[in-house]
Amino acid sequence: MPKYQIYAPALDNMPWQDRPDEPSNSPLWRWSENPVINRNPIKGVARIFNSAVMPYEGKYIGVFRGEQCDGVSFIYLGRSEDGLHWEFEPEKIHFVDENGKDFQPIYAYDPRLVKIEDTYYIMWCQDFYGAAIGLAKTQDFKTFTRVENPFLPFNRNAVLFPRKIGGNFVMLSRPSDSGHTPFGDIFLSESPDLKYWGKHRHVMSRSSNWWEGLKIGGGAAPIETSEGWLLFYHGVCQTCNGYVYSIGGAILDIDEPSKVKYRCANWLLTPEKWYEERGFVDNVTFPCATLHDPATGRIAVYYGCADTYVSLAFGYVDEIIDYIKANNRTTWDDTDLGRR
């Protein structure tokens, strides 16, 4: 049994590969067959990246950022037997409003997918007179009902926690500008009904660690563990050749997740492979989802690569949490409640 407990349903058929025998500076390692999804995966879609998957009816389902040949991104549904080989619906997801009428965003990108009780929620970035968060729900992956936009523009990188905390839905997000945003910190908001949001808290800011010195943003839905909420997020640094996106790790307090218990000073994954270093936007690793299994402590991270591919990395909950703790570097405004 793992030292640290993951509180989630069993997932004994999750994709997995043992750690290769090669030098590494991370508790994560990559699937040897990466990328999971290659270029031109759907007719009319040039690239799929920054996408989220979930277990569903004994198999896997996912919401995928498909960048069409015309450069506009939408969300596409994909299904897989094993989490590795994916088949996509040829048409983008069609949304309706709460009265059943068509309600399609102008564009939609960087989706996350989170199950809370018996409902699946999709969060993404869309136009709401500028970059903002879109939110929809489904129970059958056939009807996708948009609900109120949670936040004012500008905002990106929203992800719900996989259960209510203190009776409320809780969502991480990253207030931003509408462009390429040369700043950004992670905040948290609560809602009793997914309509009215408040109790906003600061969670953590960009830091003096080189790989997250410019901006950070939420990534995969936090994983509930016996140490707290394990969060994989992205951190961005600015180089003379542009932005570099790495994957970071933090552990948030279980009852008051705006308090950061541990925050890893080192990246957990940074662009090193050709599919991370080279693509439509070079040097991007961008986590959007995990699969995880409590009995084995196995975690699989799905991450977008270079705005061109989806890839997979693996790790054990014990090794990841111990690595985060061993390299912990929090500041007072990480560990406080985040209210001023």
Residue 302 binds to ligand BMA (criterion: CB under 6 A): no
Residue 334 binds to ligand BMA (criterion: CB under 6 A): no
Q: Which is nearer to ligand BMA, 215 or 263 (CB)?
A: 215
Give the other-Cβ count within 10 Å of 295's Cβ.
11
Residue 270 binds to ligand BMA (criterion: CB under 6 A): no
The alpha carbon of residue 14 and the mean position of all alpha carbons in its chain are separated, in whole angstroms, by: 18
Spatial CA neighbour of 284 closest among 274, 298, 297: 274
* Bridge partners, residue 287, by sequence: 303
Structure tokens, 44 = 């009319």
Residue 60 binds to ligand BMA (criterion: CB under 6 A): no
Q: Which of residues 6, 48, 76, 110 is near ligand BMA by CB under 6 A?
A: 110
Stretch that binds ligand BMA, among 32-40, 78-86, 190-198, 280-288 (CB under 6 A): 280-288
Degrees, nearest 5: CA angle 251-134-122: 60
Q: Which residues within the stretch 178-207 sit at the binding site for ligand BMA (CB under 6 A)?
A: 180
Nearest distance from C-beta of residue 90 to ligand BMA, angstroms: 23
Torsion angles phi and psi, residue 23, rounded to 5: -60, 140
Look up residue 198 and give its amino acid: G
Residue 51 binds to ligand BMA (criterion: CB under 6 A): no
**C-alpha to C-alpha distance for 197 and 195, rounded to whole angstroms:** 6
Residue 286 binds to ligand BMA (criterion: CB under 6 A): yes
Residue 124 binds to ligand BMA (criterion: CB under 6 A): no
Residue 318 CA: distances (Å) to CA of 4, 72, 263: 6, 40, 15
Residue 307 binds to ligand BMA (criterion: CB under 6 A): yes
Q: Which is nearer to ligand BMA, 8 or 36 (CB)?
A: 36
Residue 86 binds to ligand BMA (criterion: CB under 6 A): no
* Bridge partners, residue 66, by sequence: 48, 74
Give residues in contact with ligand BMA (CB under 6 A): 50, 109-110, 180, 245, 281, 284, 286, 304, 307
